[in-house]
Amino acid sequence: MSTQASPAYQPRKSTLVPTRLRSGFAIVLAGTILIAATMLVGSRVSEYYYLAAYTILQFIVLGTAWNILGGYGGYVNFGTAGFFAVGCYTTIVLNKLFQLPLLIDMAAAAATAGLLGLATGYLTLRLRGVFFSIATLALAIVLQTVIINWSFVGGARGVYVVRQEISGLFDSYAHLLVTLMVGLATCAVLAAWAVEKSWIGIGLAAIRDDETAAETSGVPSLRLKLIATTMSGALMGVAGAPFPYYITYVDPATAFSLAITVNSIAMPLIGGTATWWGPVVGAIMLGSVQQILTVTISSAANLFIVGVLLVLFVTAAPRGVVGIVRAWKRGRK
């Protein structure tokens, strides 16, 4: 073993340390451009494209939210639909009681869903990861049962939601929703990027690789996992908050739809869980495919394909598109 430095020793900048703020600026810039573009385009684009865009943007948020805990931390959430539905029904409850601006609904949804994430995490994250996953599955079903039995929000039969008035800035309600979603997606992706580059992301990566070794290296694993669960849950709730205004009729089957859960898992896994742009790529790719398929074939067949793609990628390309791109880049050097 050498006791002196190797010759021509170059101090190397750590690759893990956050020095590249370029990605963050790129995200903000892209988001701003998209919002501006959406505002300008207005009613010149058919409603159908707005609705398709809304769905894809919603999945960017959900996939990104899922990935903060799943990809970064290694803890799989099977209850995305539950958190999403909490966001929906927070809006519905607030709508029935008072008539609040959508942004307030979203803040309330974030708080409620975030608290739910915190509670679930606190109860189960001291156990093995699989118990957290099963608990999220359980949570979604318990929540659905509660909603079904709650007549105030319409129970199993569902409830109608009246869209609020739109200001002159927007040509239609769909226009407003999509603009809002672009903003939300930008914020979500920015949040994921910030987490990934920060001490939270580094700690989560250590936890994901080896939680015990992380603990004895000083990583406060429970604390970090709870932060991730809370953020993840809150983002999922926020994604759900505008949904009642989007579809105007909400019933538990739709809010708690399995399609939401499977997509929020499949999109990051196919796109790549290691970094913030994986879920974005996955959402755009898989979301677009589904939009096309749902029109041409049944929605059940569409979901079937999502499931098959999930299994294929997890088996054959576990690092997703991100992994493929990175391997290709390495091969070129």
Write out the binding residues for other proteins, residues 182-211 only, by CB under 8 A.
199, 202-203, 205-206, 208-210
User: Binding segment for other proteins among 14-22, 41-49, 92-100, 227-235 (CB under 8 A)?
Assistant: 14-22
Smallest separation (angstroms) from other proteins to the CB of 122: 9
User: Is residue 149 a contact residue for other proteins (CB under 8 A)?
Assistant: yes
User: Is residue 9 a contact residue for other proteins (CB under 8 A)?
Assistant: yes
How far is Cα 247 from Cα 161, in angstroms, rounded to an integer? 8
- In 3D, which of 3, 34, 48, 300 has the Cα closest to residue 189? 34
Name which position in 127, 292, 295, 324 contacts other proteins (CB under 8 A): 127
* Residue labelled with tokens 């975030």: 114
Q: Closer CB to other proteins, residue 17 or residue 162?
A: 17
DSSP code at position 5:
P
Specify whether the CB–CB gap between 229 and 120 falls below 8 A: yes
User: Is residue 317 a contact residue for other proteins (CB under 8 A)?
Assistant: no
How far is Cα 120 from Cα 192, in angstroms, rounded to an integer? 21
| 47 Cβ contact list (under 8 Å, min separation 6) | 172, 174
User: Binding segment for other proteins among 31-39, 86-94, 276-284, 311-319 (CB under 8 A)?
Assistant: 311-319
* Residue labelled with tokens 């913030």: 276
Number of residues forming the site for other proteins (CB under 8 A):
76
Smallest separation (angstroms) from other proteins to the CB of 197: 11
Which parts of 67-126 interact with other proteins (CB under 8 A)?
70-71, 74, 76, 78, 123-124
User: Is residue 251 a contact residue for other proteins (CB under 8 A)?
Assistant: no
Question: 121: phi > 0 → left, psi -120 to 50 → alpha, else beta; which?
Answer: alpha
CA distance from start to end of the chain = 30
User: Is residue 133 a contact residue for other proteins (CB under 8 A)?
Assistant: yes
User: Binding segment for other proteins among 34-42, 45-53, 216-224, 284-292 (CB under 8 A)?
Assistant: 216-224
What distances in angstroms separate CA 147 from CA 43, 67, 77, 121, 264, one per listed residue?
Answer: 36, 27, 20, 22, 22
User: Is residue 153 a contact residue for other proteins (CB under 8 A)?
Assistant: no
Smallest separation (angstroms) from other proteins to the CB of 199: 6
